[in-house]
Structure 1
Amino acid sequence: MGRKHRPSGHKHPLPVDFFVCPQTAPHEESALIQTGLTALTHLVRDSQLENGPIAWKPYYDSDGLQIYLATELGSSENIIFMSVTEVEGTLEEAAALHTADTTEEYRKFSERYSKDLIDCAVLKTLAAPTREHPHNYIGLKWVTLEGPPTIRNRDYCFIECRDEFSINDVNGWARVLHSVDLPWVPDLRESMEFVRAVYENSGIVFKESEKPGFLQIYQLYNTNLRGKVPLWVQRFGIKRRARSLLAYDSYFRAMRLGHVPLLRENELVPASSRRKCFLCQTSFGPFAKRYNCRRCGEVVCRQCNKKWEITDDLQITRFVRICFKCSSGPPRAFFDDSEDGDSSLDGGSRAMSEPNIPHGHYRHSMKQGLNRPQAALDDVDRPRQMMRLSSGPPVQKKKDHRPHIPQRHSVQRTSRSGYDDNTVSREELVGLYRQLKQMKVDGDVAAA
């Protein structure tokens, strides 16, 4: 008889106050803090491709993403693999993206960035960020991850440590997850059929790249799933986890877009006034849908824009369409959206503070694209001292291990005039009307 698999049914199956943290002694908290710092040190050292403690073996290399294995699949109880890529971003953006220090913040974080996370909780904060160290954090957390069909869900109880570091004269920031046993976080196998799995020095490392404005990302998983998991499931899980690394390109862009003003509906270029896509210059067919960029206001086709989920400075989250020019090119991880409507475009109070930009400014502003604003945490003093690690001989940097970055999408403008250069003439409208009539297109389409 096969094992039973309990479907989650919905996210967050446990009440918020399910885990009750008892009063802990200072020496117990100090020991946990030291555990987190030690795990972070191991993560940073283990993530080195060369001259590190782990002999990484190439497993996959495509589309700017590399996957490395530490052991052959099935040869050990632990699954140890690392994915590597490079994206445009800053350490401040990486630290801000992973801020989730309360259960409410953690759940919002999981709903947006971890689709397979069923439930999560912040159990206890051991060291909160401060003004002197805004990017540091140590705390106890619990999560449940949904497994594929026939595989039981796994839950983890772990300590999370986030901190800046410097190794071989390279600055970085890292987030480590390391399992701990807490008597007040019971095993849920009997009640929820969750299998308690283990993280060992797992997490993500961001290092400043030799290329200015870019980050090298190393995501390392060292986990014991505590059960028999078929090899095909392991391979599937590795590819799935590794490819999630490419989404950081979109995450960082969405963060930057949240700090720039958006146009109101009455400031957008009328869709009917454009015969061609403003970017690729593809002519719009009679049934082609046209989209407005909420950053520059221009009219673009479906292939030259993306619907972004952005959160502005007022913490209002909405979905807006932004063209690839204003979002600095097409994202590497393009998650296509099936919705055609922008139901949340006009929600909240952000629209009242958006500037009134005349239409004649659109083409002029497109020359500059989207300038990345300073990170929201720039006004906070950076810590004077960072964690410094020694790892033996300096790492020899070879181009073979540098992730390949595809060239940014560029668009050549073909017209010089302003607002009316793509306006449809009366004769063309009449001709289009006759064609539609001949095609026996009735009602609303012909009248349009």
Structure 2
Amino acid sequence: MSSSSSYRQSLPLPPNFFTCPPLREDEIKHMKHLAVTIATEVVEHSQLRDGGVAWTLRADEGNMRFFKAPDPLHRVGAHMFMSVVEVAGTLDEVIDLFRTDTTFKAKEYVKRFGKGLLDAVNLYTIVDPTPDFPNEKIAATWFAMKSPFDKIVANRDCVMLECQHEFEWTAGRRAWVRGLQSVALPCCPDMQSTLGLVRSTQYGVGHVVLESLDRPGYLQISFLNHFDVKGTPPEWLIELGMKKRCKSILDIELYLREDRLGRGVVLSPGDFVPLTRRRHCFLCRKRFRPWTKRSNSACVSAFVHAELPFCTPNHAQLALEATYPHPAHQLCMKEAGMQNKVYLASRFTPSLTQVGAFFNSKACRETFGVIMDAVKNNMPTCMYSENISSKQLSDLTYDQLKTLYTAYIESL
């Protein structure tokens, strides 16, 4: 089938679409060795310095940096791109997002990271995670990849050998790699004639996750793409498409927040106190007027059966911003008079709003001079004062609120 509208109807494929005979012992040994080599190369190539790749910064957009490099072996048709971000999270949380050791999990992965994928089928699981080594895996998977320019460039597919491996990086930091490379397997032949998918070659694709050296509780995540798309699309179109694909790395932080909320206790509508009975915003303490529009945010982890009223969407959004253990968090909550309201038994610290009372605390106001010095380039002129009114707090944007909080934590 040639048209995208027709062959898309055949995706996703059923789990038993491919007939995969058992691998021989020598094939298993070879694939294990190859998988380790793939993971090692992905880690090396993802390094911005001393990795054997001449990376050039092509875009710096907020939290994401986008790089391009020539193929180290100068292969015709080969391209290299990479995006790098820093997110709040733990290594184990990120690893859990990428579990694809069964076809069901592989398809769940596709649903979540569906911007660049149409389908995935697990062909072989060669090394399973174990209780002693939960973050190790070697598997062969078929992927169908969506073209960023559906009407111009055909969709692609590939068969890749995947290696997931946890290791120790410099300064004793934990690190993890998910490296993939194209392999040829008889059970998965070219499917251009049946599904309209052009078989691409992936020289080294994957994510490298490193614990931050200077920001405890943060991770540096690199998304490497080293490939030959086959065909003859122009260079500018390839770069444009890869920039779009590499932006999917920004979704990781969103998925981490969703998973944290999903592990909590979700309140039913009957558990909420009616908004009409609330008199002020939880974050900035701004008093509600009869005509004020109000929003609820359910606290699912640190507060016990509580709901928080907010006066603006920015303040409600702040309630969903999860942060990670920092010695100053407990001090901040104690000084803000919240030690009797916060339950810290879980390994996750409260969200920014759950410690948001610091804005109205004595300790916070005494520290505003330090905050202003730290963030003077990001705050409006009206904020250069030790006495910040409720109205000024309610007018702050989400990013400004987050900047204030971060500066406060770092100043303690």
TM norm structure 2: 0.72
Partner of 1:328: 322
- Change in Cα spacing, 1:116 to 1:68, as seen in structure 2 (3 Å) is closer
The reply to whether residue 144 of structure 1 matches residue 148 of structure 2 is no
Deviation at 1:221, TM superposition (A): 0.4
Structure 1 CA distance for aligned equivalents of residues 115 and 287 of structure 2 = 35
Residue identity in the other structure for 1:63: G
Deviation at 1:286, TM superposition (A): 4.1
- Change in Cα spacing, 1:325 to 1:143, as seen in structure 2 (3 Å) is same
Q: 1:365-415 deviations in whole A, cap 9, x for unaligned?
A: 69987969448xxxxxxxxxxxxxxxxxxxxxxxxxxxxxxxxx9676559
> What secondary structure sits across from 1:110 in the alignment?
helix
Partner of 1:161: 163
Structure 2: gaps (5+ residues):
301-305, 324-335, 349-354, 363-412
Structure 1 CA distance for aligned equivalents of residues 77 and 290 of structure 2 = 57
Structure 1 CA distance for aligned equivalents of residues 271 and 42 of structure 2 = 49
Partner of 2:129: 129
**Is contact 1:253–1:327 with CA below 8 Å preserved after alignment?**
yes
**Is contact 2:275–2:294 with CA below 8 Å preserved after alignment?**
no
The reply to whether residue 203 of structure 1 matches residue 203 of structure 2 is no
**Is contact 1:326–1:369 with CA below 8 Å preserved after alignment?**
no
Deviation at 1:226, TM superposition (A): 0.8
**Is contact 1:269–1:299 with CA below 8 Å preserved after alignment?**
no
> What secondary structure sits across from 1:297 in the alignment?
strand
1:1-40 alignment runs, 5 A limit: 5-7=3-5, 9=8, 12-40=11-39
Structure 2 CA distance for aligned equivalents of residues 245 and 105 of structure 1 = 19
Partner of 2:219: 215
The reply to whether residue 190 of structure 1 matches residue 193 of structure 2 is yes
Structure 2 CA distance for aligned equivalents of residues 68 and 282 of structure 1 = 48
Q: 1:117-150 deviations in whole A, cap 9, x for unaligned?
A: 2111000100000111000000010010121222
1:42-57 alignment runs, 5 A limit: 42-57=41-56
Structure 2 CA distance for aligned equivalents of residues 91 and 187 of structure 1 = 36
- Change in Cα spacing, 1:251 to 1:285, as seen in structure 2 (3 Å) is farther
- Change in Cα spacing, 1:204 to 1:257, as seen in structure 2 (3 Å) is same
Structure 1 CA distance for aligned equivalents of residues 297 and 123 of structure 2 = 44
- Change in Cα spacing, 1:9 to 1:218, as seen in structure 2 (3 Å) is same
Structure 2 CA distance for aligned equivalents of residues 106 and 14 of structure 1 = 12
Structure 2 CA distance for aligned equivalents of residues 367 and 5 of structure 1 = 63
- Change in Cα spacing, 1:221 to 1:305, as seen in structure 2 (3 Å) is farther
- Change in Cα spacing, 1:100 to 1:305, as seen in structure 2 (3 Å) is farther
Residue identity in the other structure for 1:186: P
**Higher deviation after alignment, 275-284 or 184-193:** 275-284
Partner of 1:383: none
> What secondary structure sits across from 1:200 in the alignment?
strand
1:76-115 alignment runs, 5 A limit: 76-115=76-115
> What secondary structure sits across from 1:61 in the alignment?
strand
Identical-pair percentage: 29
1:262-273 alignment runs, 5 A limit: 262-273=266-277
Q: 1:231-269 deviations in whole A, cap 9, x for unaligned?
A: 343232222122222222222222222333333332212
- Change in Cα spacing, 1:137 to 1:410, as seen in structure 2 (3 Å) is same
**Is contact 1:205–1:217 with CA below 8 Å preserved after alignment?**
yes
Q: 1:334-358 deviations in whole A, cap 9, x for unaligned?
A: xxxxxxxxxxxxxxxxxxxxxxxxx
Structure 2 CA distance for aligned equivalents of residues 235 and 372 of structure 1 = 47
Structure 1 CA distance for aligned equivalents of residues 289 and 48 of structure 2 = 49
Residue identity in the other structure for 1:46: H
**Higher deviation after alignment, 30-39 or 234-243:** 234-243
Match of 1:291 among 296, 299, 304: 296
Residue identity in the other structure for 1:101: D
**Is contact 1:11–1:118 with CA below 8 Å preserved after alignment?**
no
Structure 2 CA distance for aligned equivalents of residues 234 and 367 of structure 1 = 56
- Change in Cα spacing, 1:251 to 1:158, as seen in structure 2 (3 Å) is same
Deviation at 1:32, TM superposition (A): 0.9
Structure 2 CA distance for aligned equivalents of residues 23 and 232 of structure 1 = 43
> What secondary structure sits across from 1:101 in the alignment?
coil
Structure 1 CA distance for aligned equivalents of residues 345 and 58 of structure 2 = 35
Structure 2 CA distance for aligned equivalents of residues 46 and 122 of structure 1 = 26
Q: 1:260-291 deviations in whole A, cap 9, x for unaligned?
A: 33333322121222365433548578484633
Partner of 1:351: none
> What secondary structure sits across from 1:229 in the alignment?
coil
- Change in Cα spacing, 1:4 to 1:276, as seen in structure 2 (3 Å) is farther
Q: 1:156-179 deviations in whole A, cap 9, x for unaligned?
A: 101111001224444310101110
Structure 1 CA distance for aligned equivalents of residues 237 and 273 of structure 2 = 49
- Change in Cα spacing, 1:177 to 1:184, as seen in structure 2 (3 Å) is same
Deviation at 1:62, TM superposition (A): 2.3
Residue identity in the other structure for 1:127: V
**Is contact 2:115–2:245 with CA below 8 Å preserved after alignment?**
no
**Higher deviation after alignment, 167-176 or 150-159:** 167-176
**Is contact 2:116–2:245 with CA below 8 Å preserved after alignment?**
no
The reply to whether residue 303 of structure 1 matches residue 313 of structure 2 is yes
**Is contact 2:297–2:319 with CA below 8 Å preserved after alignment?**
no
Structure 1 CA distance for aligned equivalents of residues 216 and 251 of structure 2 = 20
- More helix by proportion, 1 or 2? 2
Deviation at 1:108, TM superposition (A): 1.2
Question: May I ask how many residue pairs the two structures share in their alignment?
Answer: 332
Structure 2 CA distance for aligned equivalents of residues 102 and 284 of structure 1 = 54
Root-mean-square deviation (Å): 3.2
- Change in Cα spacing, 1:35 to 1:371, as seen in structure 2 (3 Å) is farther
Structure 1 CA distance for aligned equivalents of residues 2 and 80 of structure 2 = 27
> What secondary structure sits across from 1:121 in the alignment?
strand
- Change in Cα spacing, 1:119 to 1:302, as seen in structure 2 (3 Å) is farther
**Higher deviation after alignment, 235-244 or 116-125:** 235-244
Residue identity in the other structure for 1:303: P
Partner of 1:320: none
> What secondary structure sits across from 2:4 in the alignment?
coil
Partner of 2:407: none
